[in-house]
A and B are shown apart, each in its own frame.
Chain A
Amino acid sequence: MRPFTYERATDAQAAVKAMAEHPNAKFLAGGTNLLDLMKLEIEHPAHLIDVGRLPLAAIEDTAEGGLRIGAMTTNSHVAADARIRSRYRVLTQAIVAGGSGQLRNKATTGGNLLQRTRCAYFYDTAKPCNKRHPGSGCGALEGLNRNSAIFGASDACIATHPSDMAVALVALDASVETLTPWGEGRRFPVAELHRLPGETPQIETRLAPGELITAVVLPRPPQGGQVYRKVRDRASYAAGLASVAVAGGNLALGAVAHRPWRADKAEAALKSGASPGEAIAAELAGAAQNGRNGFKINLVARLVPAALEEARANGRDA
């Protein structure tokens, strides 16, 4: 790990101000992803601003009938919250499908959204990767790309976003609240947080440099059942090959694109009376494979109808 200086921020305004004052600084919250990447010298900030103890770890009711989750709330606390378990079960299910107990105890809501891809070529500093080293090429394009994207990829990058939680948040129409380096609060949908890779896969979100996520806001839960289903190579503690979040009529897919993939074509098909199989086929008409990841198309085609059926059953029980 390369040397860095460290400070503990006392409030959110001070944190974004410190970020503006230090070149090559990063926010540190739980650290479970950032510190791992620093050990591997994929990330090498010169200064860390520890935001983990900012007073942003509460889950509050909103006036609109939803919930505001402070960005420093740990994944474990979000998953265990009684309101989330009863009204937003897809979110609890998505969180407990990710990482291990130890990791979820440390990982935060904001950090989970900003975790980086698990693409093997991003992790191997001896290999080309446009995300890690812009302009060096994409090793995955012709390489071991079994877990790469089937939606929205580019010739520059076929990596996927690894978060389970974010997939549920997109299906729930959640928003993020942020504080910009110039001290302004912003709010926009989680679905608009992450970018597609295009020619600049190193730019992963629409956050300005130094912008801090302060909260995630859940609207009132949608009508209908909810469920999260994830498929992976072993039963626990592994990144997904494909996942799906169902929340009422909303559908989002995980591990298939550079961002959580809102399946709006499938949603539209379902609304106009298509069967679950027909609906996901409409979405998958826009999918593309890269040699070794073609199985994901079949996987999603089978996973989504099963999840829709389970969500309907959950909706009846509720």
Chain B
Amino acid sequence: MRTTITVNGEARSMDLDTRTTLLDALREHLRLTGSKKGCDHGQCGACTVLVNGTRINACLSLAVMHDGDEVTTIEGVGAVDGLHPMQVAFLTEDAFQCGYCTPGQICSALGMLREVADNWPSQETQDLTGPVRLTNDELRERMSGNICRCSAYPQIVAAIRSIAGEPA
């Protein structure tokens, strides 16, 4: 099935089996292997990408559902010679060991910060009618869809915190 998705700013047209997930289209058809396949069931978050600016699990979506969408993968977040500040923060804070979950962590963190800027609540939000304060409990709760088997969580929190700033 002919499907055109704008990936990292470039329109990419593919002829796909309807069963192809967005993740497999990115990795196997477009050779963008930064997005990782961990569990393939939406439980680990390694496949997290931004679709029209919103974070989702690319493994739990069919590529044909995204005809006309704009997708940003880790390859579009930054380049080797021009890292995104969040990528620099993960390096600075040593926020990974094996690195397999890192592209998903970084895409998720960027999507999460936009949700906070839009004042979306989480289960840690005590005052549902006021502005969200991104406490560490809030930050950890909002990143709970991204698993790190090496358990670099304290450093991941520190890296995201260094970009988000301290809560007011």
* Contact surface of A with B, Cβ cutoff 8 Å: 1, 3-6, 8, 28, 31-32, 35-36, 39, 48, 50, 52, 76, 79-80, 82, 85-86, 89, 92-93, 96-97, 99-103, 105-106, 235-237
Q: B34 on the interface (CB 8 Å rule)?
A: no
Q: Contact between A4 and B18 (Cβ–Cβ < 8 Å)?
A: yes
Which chain B residues lie closer than 8 Å to A92 at the CB level? 121, 128
Q: Contact between A79 and B120 (Cβ–Cβ < 8 Å)?
A: yes
Stretch at the interface among B39-47, B85-93, B151-159: B39-47
Closest to B118 in A: A80
**For residues 99 through 133 of chain B, which have their beta carbon under 8 Å from a beta carbon of chain A?**
108, 111-112, 115, 118-123, 125, 128-129
Which chain A residues lie closer than 8 Å to B128 at the CB level? 85-86, 89, 92-93
User: Could you list 5 further interchain pairs (A-B, Cβ under 8 angstroms) beyond the known A101-B122, A103-B57?
Assistant: A28-B65, A50-B65, A76-B115, A101-B144, A103-B145
Q: How far is the CB of A89 from chain B (nearest CB, A)?
A: 5
Closest to B16 in A: A6
Q: How far is the CB of A4 from chain B (nearest CB, A)?
A: 6
Closest to A84 in B: B128
Which chain B residues lie closer than 8 Å to A101 at the CB level? 55, 108, 111-112, 115, 122, 142-145
* Contact surface of B with A, Cβ cutoff 8 Å: 1, 17-19, 21, 40-42, 45, 48, 54-57, 60-62, 64-65, 67, 108, 111-112, 115, 118-123, 125, 128-129, 140-146
Q: Contact between A32 and B42 (Cβ–Cβ < 8 Å)?
A: yes
Closest to B1 in A: A6
Q: How far is the CB of A227 from chain B (nearest CB, A)?
A: 11
Partner of A105, one of B17, B56, B64: B56
Q: Contact between A237 and B144 (Cβ–Cβ < 8 Å)?
A: yes
Q: How far is the CA of A105 from the CA of B142 in the complex (A)?
A: 12
Q: How far is the CA of A294 from the CA of B11 in the complex (A)?
A: 56
Partner of A86, one of B1, B40, B67, B129: B129
Q: How far is the CB of B85 from chain A (nearest CB, A)?
A: 21
Q: How far is the CA of A28 from the CA of B1 in the complex (A)?
A: 17
Q: Contact between B18 and A236 (Cβ–Cβ < 8 Å)?
A: no
Q: How far is the CA of A36 from the CA of B128 in the complex (A)?
A: 32
Q: How far is the CB of A241 from chain B (nearest CB, A)?
A: 16
Q: Contact between B45 and A6 (Cβ–Cβ < 8 Å)?
A: no
Which chain B residues lie closer than 8 Å to A3 at the CB level? 17-19
Q: How far is the CA of A79 from the CA of B67 in the complex (A)?
A: 27
Q: How far is the CB of B142 from chain A (nearest CB, A)?
A: 6
Q: How far is the CA of A106 from the CA of B145 in the complex (A)?
A: 13
The verdict on A36 contacting B41 (CB below 8 Å), with A85-B121, A96-B121 known, is: yes
Partner of B62, one of A6, A100, A235: A6
Which chain A residues lie closer than 8 Å to B111 at the CB level? 101-102, 105
Q: How far is the CB of A124 from chain B (nearest CB, A)?
A: 14
User: Quick one: which of A92, A100, A102 has the most chain B CB within 10 A?
Assistant: A102
Q: Contact between B42 and A236 (Cβ–Cβ < 8 Å)?
A: no
Closest to B147 in A: A237
Which chain B residues lie closer than 8 Å to A4 at the CB level? 18-19
4 A-B pairs with the lowest CB-CB distances in the bound complex, closest first: A100-B145, A236-B144, A80-B120, A85-B128
21 A–B pairs (Cβ distance < 8 Å), ordered by A: A4-B18, A6-B18, A6-B62, A35-B62, A39-B41, A76-B115, A80-B118, A80-B119, A93-B123, A96-B121, A96-B122, A97-B123, A100-B45, A100-B145, A101-B145, A102-B48, A102-B55, A103-B60, A103-B145, A105-B111, A236-B141
User: Quick one: which of B41, B62, B118, B119 has the most chain A CB within 10 A?
Assistant: B62
Closest to B125 in A: A96
Q: How far is the CA of A88 from the CA of B48 in the complex (A)?
A: 30
Which chain B residues lie closer than 8 Å to A76 at the CB level? 115, 120
Which chain B residues lie closer than 8 Å to A85 at the CB level? 121, 128-129
Q: How far is the CA of A76 from the CA of B51 in the complex (A)?
A: 14
Which chain A residues lie closer than 8 Å to B18 at the CB level? 3-6, 48
Which chain B residues lie closer than 8 Å to A6 at the CB level? 1, 18, 62, 64
Q: How far is the CA of A48 from the CA of B18 in the complex (A)?
A: 10
Closest to B65 in A: A50
Which chain A residues lie closer than 8 Å to B123 at the CB level? 93, 96-97, 236
Q: How far is the CB of B108 from chain A (nearest CB, A)?
A: 7
